[in-house]
Amino acid sequence: MADVLVVSELKDGELKKISRELTSAARKIADAIGGKVHTVVIAASADKYAADLKAVGADAIITANLGDFNPEGYANGIAAIIQEKKPAVVLIPHSSQGKEYSARVAIKVNAGIVADAVGLSVDGGKVVAKKPIYSGKAYANFKISSDIQIFTVRANSQEVSQKEGAGSVEASSASAGEVRLKSLSKDLSGGNKVQLADASIIVSGGRGIKGPENWPLLQDLADTLGAALGASRATVDAGWISHSHQVGQTGKTVSPNCYIACGISGAIQHLAGMGSSKYIVAINKDGDAPIFKVATYGVVADLFEVVPALTSEFKKVLG
């Protein structure tokens, strides 16, 4: 048997979409290599999430009570579960949390790791991970030669398929163990209404919005679509918006189903952060802007005319 273990992620007590994505991807891998899917829920109880995870392929939902997030504690607990279950493949969200503990886990269980995968397939019993390289200008495929293969996977990169697993629920005795790192405080004041990394739709603004006073125009469209608000580095550097909204090489890397770029020229550093979006809609007065080379749909027009019209129409359609 060559099992697959998924580490799920919660936000405000709710299962994040990436958890279902990875469990569904694990189901396909397990079917190909002849194993079971174990999904770890880091919480006191997994009963609340069992039905959702079973529906997308989890054979076993494992509760691990590791306390509040601590990269050392999570690494200790997850490594203990891996050593107990002995999976061939481990899938971890490429999130702010996952990026902090995944390499620690790999060291503890003597495993190879590929970070920021956007595609997963199986060849010869080994997982092949597709990931962007050279700031998103190309893609490369990677295999891991170690017995345990660990992959961190970008949100919104995997399709969710409904295929039920056995869905048993069990509690793990794994603990956070001794940790040297302690969290002293949290500052959530600069956060988005919808988190960029998790968003299926992102409305993003660049210098073309002309000033910080015009963000409400884009926020209205974002709120209408249930989208996150993004920004180019130029607007962040100008002090128009906080860095938490920045998309690009020095900001956040995202893969939404739809990325709406308003007044963004499309510098290579920005494309590196959103080039893997499924659909890209570009709105810019400059028909020669580089963003149009990657756009699925392009509107050569003034965003101050197009965005309010889009918002109005979406409000009619979406109620």
For residues 296 and 274, the answer to whether their CB atoms sit within 8 Å is no
Cα 100 to Cα 9: distance, rounded to the nearest angstrom: 13
Please report, to the nearest 10 degrees, the dihedral formed by the alpha carbons of residues 63, 160, 118, 127 taken in order: 70
Cα 29 to Cα 38: distance, rounded to the nearest angstrom: 12
Cα 301 to Cα 283: distance, rounded to the nearest angstrom: 7
For 316, half-sphere exposure in the C-beta direction (CA atoms, 13 angstrom radius) is 5
3-class SS string, 97-123? HHHHHHHHHHHHCCCEEEEEECEEEEE
- Classify the phi-psi angles of 159: left when phi > 0, otherwise alpha if psi is within -120 to 50, otherwise beta: beta
| Binding residue ranges for FAD | 207, 232-233, 246-250, 263-270, 284
| Binding residue ranges | 207, 232-233, 246-250, 263-270, 284
For residues 233 and 255, the answer to whether their CB atoms sit within 8 Å is no
**Greatest pairwise CA separation for the chain in angstroms:** 60
